[in-house]
Amino acid sequence: MSENCCGEKTKERSPEEYKSLVNRLNRIEGQIRGIRGMLDKNAYCPDILAQVAAANAALNAFSKELLSNHIRSCVVNDVRAGNDEVIDELLVTLQKLMK
């Protein structure tokens, strides 16, 4: 993790991590376009809702993978460096995810 010129935090991801996350997002984008297409074609509400549930599950899977990567890299590295503030940041992040 590092900071850019504006003081915002950034993270260098491995090519494998980046590719995995982008692939998940691409599939989610496809699901969302599919839902839009169903709406355009006047699909039956429960059929659309089933696809919305699938898209939500895909977003949750993306979040879990990203959170796991964050804990294994950023959080571990910061704690080892003595930056315990990262734990408070992690707790706030978890609270946001659990809404």
**pTM confidence score:** 0.85
Q: Which ranges of 10-84 does DSSP label H, i.e. alpha helix?
A: 15-40, 45-70, 76-80
Please report the pLDDT score of residue 97 as a whole number: 93
**Does the pLDDT of residue 92 top 60, yes or no?**
yes
Length of the chain, in residues: 99
User: What tokens were used for 21?
Assistant: 């996350």
pLDDT tens digits for range 51-72: 999 999 999 999 999 999 999 9
pLDDT at 8: 78
Q: Is residue 18's pLDDT more than 60?
A: yes
State phi, psi for 67 to the nearest 5 degrees: -65, -45
The CATH-assigned architecture of domain 2-97 is Up-down Bundle (1.20)
Residue ranges covered by each domain of the chain: 2-97
